[in-house]
Structure 1
């Protein structure tokens, strides 16, 4: 079924369960950073999270499906659907009982408990102030995402050490912590950053170089641009940390990596 996003979508969202002309009266702090709430209406009682604002600030996105009359929000691999007619909420395929969204001036607000349904997310409410913590607060994840944003990489699939071991045969015992971002389209863009376990630096270098070589092999006799990126990919180290970078601007990425793990 074709999903179409139209300008009229925003108008339908103004059909709300209560409206407010007041500006957002509290604060939203996401991973230690206060979000700009100046353009938000005040939150309705019991539904204090402006879902699109939080999703987009946390490297996610939002959309609206006209044919289904549902909003969609992606947060770190999690999916949230909101029925724009009833306010019903579905999180990762589970319909939430006794939990509704509220629409105010086209903004979708949900209870803080909805974020608590997402792995690694917490939302604490104190008066009119909300503090949200997400998996993107992790130092290595934040560094990798900063690199992706700065050098405009098409790497959106996030995996931890266990996930990389399962999907790419990168041994998890090489690291005490690690994160990798991989492409979900026809692209070679990849960034893996890890803190190397004692005595495992040579193994970690070999594993990441093998991943670079595999990426190159995947594009042999296929597409020249991602092939060249894979050929030029680099494995670099700084102290106990290591990175594989395949991007259009490796020099910038490498400098950010070295600055970020000092």
Structure 2
């Protein structure tokens, strides 16, 4: 009898190890514009201007051909370092390429404020950059935790 129970348990453990017991992750398909609008509605910010495709290519060092959609906003006037970028790539294999371009952009913003406005330089140094699947979030903001929380809410 003990051998039968032991064999049964062994089979169950083997099945769990083969197939796993975690829940499958579903692919999220939400518009980056929807995410950006929710952020703008819930977080107060300085006046921003939205970049066009060529400007994203130039300032973010990203090939637009690999981007499915994006919303990138920078300050209207160069007295704040705040930026918001939400980018969805066409293929997850391109996430690292976009992240590298955004890191260069973060460095550019830091250089801009390094000797100009020390408080904004500190803000630029403490940027947030993360991704979830095909979605990439870049934030320079004093409210970065709140913005990050809103972004994360779409992937739960």
**Normalised TM-score (structure 2):** 0.71
> In structure 1, what is the Cα distance between the partners aligned to 2:52 and 2:35?
14
Q: 1:173 aligns with which of 65, 85, 91?
A: 65
As a proportion of its length, which structure holds more strand?
1
Unpaired stretches in structure 2, ≥5 consecutive residues: 1-29
Segments ≥4 residues shifted beyond 4 Å: none
Q: 2:42 aligns with which of 122, 128, 150?
A: 150
Unpaired stretches in structure 1, ≥5 consecutive residues: 1-137
Query: Structure 1 residues 191 and 211, CA, compared in 2 at 3 Å: closer, same or farther?
Result: same
> In structure 1, what is the Cα distance between the partners aligned to 2:43 and 2:102?
20
Bigger RCO of structures 1 and 2 (CA < 8 A, at least 6 apart): 2
Q: Which residue of 1 aligns with 2:82?
A: 189
Q: CA deviation at 1:167?
A: 4.9
Q: CA deviation at 1:261?
A: 5.1
Q: Which residue of 2 aligns with 1:237?
A: 131
Contact between 1:216 and 1:231, CA under 8 Å: does it hold in 2?
yes
As a proportion of its length, which structure holds more helix?
2
Q: 2:32 aligns with which of 132, 140, 145?
A: 140
Query: Structure 1 residues 190 and 155, CA, compared in 2 at 3 Å: closer, same or farther?
Result: farther
Query: Structure 1 residues 225 and 151, CA, compared in 2 at 3 Å: closer, same or farther?
Result: farther
Q: Report the count of equivalent residues.
A: 125
Q: CA deviation at 1:251?
A: 1.1
Pairwise CA RMSD:
2.1
**Normalised TM-score (structure 1):** 0.44
Q: CA deviation at 1:148?
A: 3.3
